[in-house]
Amino acid sequence: MKIKFWGVRGSIASPGQHTIRYGGNTTCIEVRGDDGSLVILDAGTGIFPLAQELLRKMPVKANIFITHTHWDHIQGLPFFTPIFIPGNTVRIHGAFDVVSGRGIEQVMEVQMQYSYFPIREAELKATIEYETLNVGVPVSVGSLTVTPLMLNHPVVNFGYRVDGDGKSMFFTGDHEPWANIYSPDDEGYAEFEQMVQAQCDQLDQSLQNLDVLIADSSYTKAEYPAKIGWGHGTIEGHLEWVRRVGAKTLVCTHHEPTRSDDALEKVFGDAVAGCGYVPGENGAPRAILAREGLELIP
C-alpha cells in the first residue's frame, strides 16, 4: 500500500506564497494497492493535479470515495480529466443524503448543471458509475478493502478505513469528537454521556492498531471553544487519539486556510511539545503534518 497527498487544506483552496511548503489545494488523497488498484479519498481541488499524473498511463480505472459533500471535498470532480476520455472508468462512492433523499449520484448532477459548469454530465465520455454506501459494509477494490464508518460533522460524513497488502490506514474526512449536549447538572446528562462514550469506544475499536491515522486537525485546543459545532478536530486531540488506538503514524491534515505554513508549523510544534510524549521515540507513534506530494508506505 502507498499513500500520496494531493490536497491538504480545509474549507477553501488557499494558494499563495505563504502556503507553498504544504500546499494550498483542498482535500485529496491517493491510495494505491500493491496490485496497482487506485482508491481516491475525496475530490477537492487536489484531484486536478492527480488527474494530470494519471493521464500518463491510460486507461484510468479509479474508485473515488467521497467522505461528505461539502464543497472543499467535491469541487475538483468536474475537473478530473479522466471523466472526459472514452475508455476510462470512474466509480464514485459516498453516502445517502438524508436532506435531499438522493444517493451520491447527485454530486455530479448538481455540479455539472449549465448554471455552474459548461459541460453537462450527459456529455462525459468515460464510464461513470455510482455506489451509495452503507455504514460498516466494506467495498473491495483490487487488493484493497474500503470500509465506511460514520463520523461527526454537520452533514453525513464517512471516515474510510482502507486495508490491504497487510497494511491499514484511516482517513476521517471532517470530524469533530462527539460531545455531551447537556450540562453536568441537567437530568439527561448521564444517559447522553453513556451514549457519547459508546460512540467513541466503538470508533476506537474499529481503528485498533492502524498503520496510519489521517485526521482533520484544523484547530488547536485553544481555538476550539470558539469553533464548537463546526465539525472539525484539534491537533492536540488527535495526538491523544493516535496513541489511544495504537496507530503507528498520525498525519494531521485539513489545515486551517488562514494559517500560513510558518504558523502551521508553530501550532503543530507547540501541540507536540505539550502532548506528554515524544513522537516516534520509545514506541510512541510518529506525528507529521500533511503536505502536497507527501508519500507514505506504511
User: What pLDDT is recorded for position 24?
Assistant: 98
Confidence (pLDDT) at 15? 96
Distance of CA 231 to the CA centre of its chain: 13
The DSSP bridge partners found for residue 2 are 32
What is the second-level CATH architecture of the domain 2-296? Answer: 4-Layer Sandwich (3.60)
In which band, very low, low, confident or very high, does the pLDDT at 209 lie, cut at 50, 70 and 90? Answer: confident
pLDDT of 100: 87
pTM, rounded to two decimals: 0.97
DSSP 284: P
Q: Which three cell numbers stand for residue 35?
A: 496490485
Neighbouring CB atoms inside 10 A of 89's CB total: 15
Residue 278 pLDDT class (50, 70, 90 cuts): very high
DSSP letter assigned to residue 156: -
Domain regions of the chain by residue span: 2-296
pLDDT at 204: 96
Q: Residue 105 in contact with residue 72, Cβ under 8 Å?
A: no
- For 199, left (φ over 0), alpha (ψ -120 to 50), or beta? alpha
Each residue of 88-103: pLDDT tens digit? 999 999 999 888 889 9
What is the predicted pLDDT for the residue at 99? 84
Residue 180 to residue 198: CA distance in whole angstroms? 12
- Cell numbers that stand for 90 in this block: 470512474
> Is the predicted pLDDT of residue 215 greater than 90, yes or no?
yes
- pLDDT for 37: 97
Peptide bond into 59 cis (omega under 30): yes
Report residue 75's pLDDT band, with 50, 70 and 90 as the boundaries: very high
Place of cell 468536474: 78
Number of other CB atoms surrounding residue 171 within 10 Å: 25
pLDDT single digits (tens) 140-183: 999 999 999 999 999 999 999 999 999 999 999 999 999 999 99
CB contact at 8 A, 102 and 132 = no
